[in-house]
């Protein structure tokens, strides 16, 4: 191991690139576990009658589910595929919940049959849908109702999830929520425990969460007074942001949970309400900084004079393994693995392999002079990279390795070309057609 090379989880990243190839996702098990333990210490142990669910959409494999399970956290899902992944890993399905604004009957059925602990109902129509599926399976569904609190946090518009008139949740306009609660409690196939809200993602101040908690507590009191419904659970979602550059600091989980809990407790005392069980859903906050992505430099391209032109570093990954810069302008920091102590000389743009002008991973970054074959390391890529990866341009999804104490083990194999063709079937009438030469 070269002592000047970057290491992750005790492993030389250049050696990882040689052994496993690039692009390569690398996750530190120690960082994941440390974040889970901070949730336990600063929220679960500090505040009684609470629960924490890792938002599996950020990153989920069977190995990740096993780590989360061993740390005592739950999982939240948005698809049958996520449910199945956790189930196959041996996860305790009682500590799970299912989200989603367009659940299919099959996904609801799978959630009920696999023993998912809660189903979060997104809209009034879904109440009857869940009730019908539960009746057909002879199972009583335990549910929460998702509410759009109308609070808009300071974040990218594509990451706001609780505004009135948006995609998620039941609006508080008119008496929508009361009607939903009345319908849910009238269904013998449904047991309504309470409510859920999620204000958005990449949020750095707790104000929107606290305000939304206050909105919900007022509605919880109103529902008790008007129809006698007693709320047993309130899920306040996740969305805590993480550092986007070495100069930023990721908020501690208590920076959000302490004021949320204080607001809820004060409102319960004021409204003479029993305090419901409070749940949180950290996802990115747990896994994002545990992950790095390794790329190999394929070429360095000058587009003008050395002093005035733009220089491009072209790498072997791109929007197919990390679409976030293209989707909502996500920012990343990066280093050259064997030049981490060398000061950058000028700015470069880092471009991906896909046939798209928009496939730019970093618009401008100051780095030492790169050369073909260098390994470039992107920080803070544990969340929403592997989980959002695609096969655009028939690219193969990268491998994922887990590192700990200088040992690297495979979590996900790199796709082969045959994997790309898996599931394809040649229509019968094309079987005998050959290209004419």
DSSP 364-391: EEEESPP-TTPEEEEES-SSSSGGG---
Residue 315 contacts residue 64 (beta carbons within 8 Å): no
434-to-420, 422, 425, 430 alpha-carbon distances in Å: 22, 22, 16, 8
Distance CA 36, CA 284 (A): 12
Side-chain half-sphere CA neighbours of 330 within 13 A: 25
DSSP strand pairing (190-196 vs 407-412) = unpaired
SS3 59: coil
Residue 39 near residue 253 (C-beta atoms within 8 A): yes
Please identify every residue annotated as catalytic. Answer: 355
CA distance 87 to 68: 13
For 40-56, give one letter per residue: b (16+ CB within 10 A) or e. bebbbeebeebbbbbbb
Distance CA 9, CA 28 (A): 5
Q: CB-side exposure of 191: number of CA atoms within 13 Å?
A: 9
Long-range Cβ contacts of 134-139 (<8 Å, 24+ apart): 134/108, 134/189, 134/190, 135/189, 136/109, 137/109, 137/112, 137/113, 139/112, 139/113, 139/189
């Amino acid at each position: 191991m070269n002592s000047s090379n970057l290491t992750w989880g005790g492993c030389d990243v250049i050696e990882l690139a040689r052994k496993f190839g690039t692009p390569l996702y690398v996750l530190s098990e120690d960082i994941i576990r440390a974040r889970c333990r901070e949730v336990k210490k600063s929220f679960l142990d500090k505040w009684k009658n609470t629960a924490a669910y890792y938002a599996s959409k950020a990153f989920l494999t069977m190995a990740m589910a096993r780590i989360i399970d061993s740390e005592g956290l739950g999982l939240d899902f948005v698809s049958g595929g996520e449910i199945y992944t956790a189930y196959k890993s041996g996860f305790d399905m009682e500590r799970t919940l299912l989200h989603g604004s367009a659940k299919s009957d099959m996904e609801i059925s799978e959630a009920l049959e696999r023993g998912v602990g809660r189903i979060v109902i997104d809209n009034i129509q879904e109440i009857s849908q869940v009730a019908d599926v539960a009746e057909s399976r002879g199972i009583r569904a335990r549910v929460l109702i998702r509410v759009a609190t109308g609070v808009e946090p300071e974040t990218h518009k594509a990451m706001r999830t609780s505004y009135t008139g948006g995609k998620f949740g039941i609006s508080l306009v008119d008496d929508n929520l009361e009607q939903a609660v009345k319908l849910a409690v009238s269904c013998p196939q449904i047991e309504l425990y309470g409510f859920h809200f999620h204000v958005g993602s990449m949020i750095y101040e707790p104000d929107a969460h606290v305000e939304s908690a206050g909105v919900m507590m007022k509605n919880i009191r109103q529902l008790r007074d008007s129809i006698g419904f007693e709320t047993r659970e309130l899920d306040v979602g996740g969305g805590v942001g993480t550092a986007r550059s070495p100069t930023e600091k990721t908020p501690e989980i208590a920076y959000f949970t302490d004021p949320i809990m204080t607001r809820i407790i004060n409102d319960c005392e004021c409204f003479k309400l029993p305090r419901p069980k409070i749940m949180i859903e950290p996802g990115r906050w747990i896994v994002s900084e545990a992950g790095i992505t390794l790329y190999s430099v394929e070429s360095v391209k000058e587009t003008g004079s050395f002093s005035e032109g733009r220089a491009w570093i072209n790498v072997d990954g791109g929007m197919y393994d990390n679409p976030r810069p293209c989707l909502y302008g996500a920012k990343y920091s990066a280093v050259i693995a064997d030049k981490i102590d060398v000061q950058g000389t000028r700015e470069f743009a880092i471009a991906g392999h896909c046939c798209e002008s928009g496939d730019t991973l970093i618009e401008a970054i100051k780095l030492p002079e790169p050369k073909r074959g260098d390994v470039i390391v992107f920080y803070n890529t544990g969340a929403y990279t592997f989980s959002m990866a695609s096969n655009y341009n028939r690219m193969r999804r990268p491998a994922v390795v887990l590192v700990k104490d200088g040992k690297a083990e495979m979590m996900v194999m790199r796709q082969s070309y045959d994997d790309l063709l898996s599931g394809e079937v040649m229509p019968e009438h094309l079987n005998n057609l050959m290209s004419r030469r």
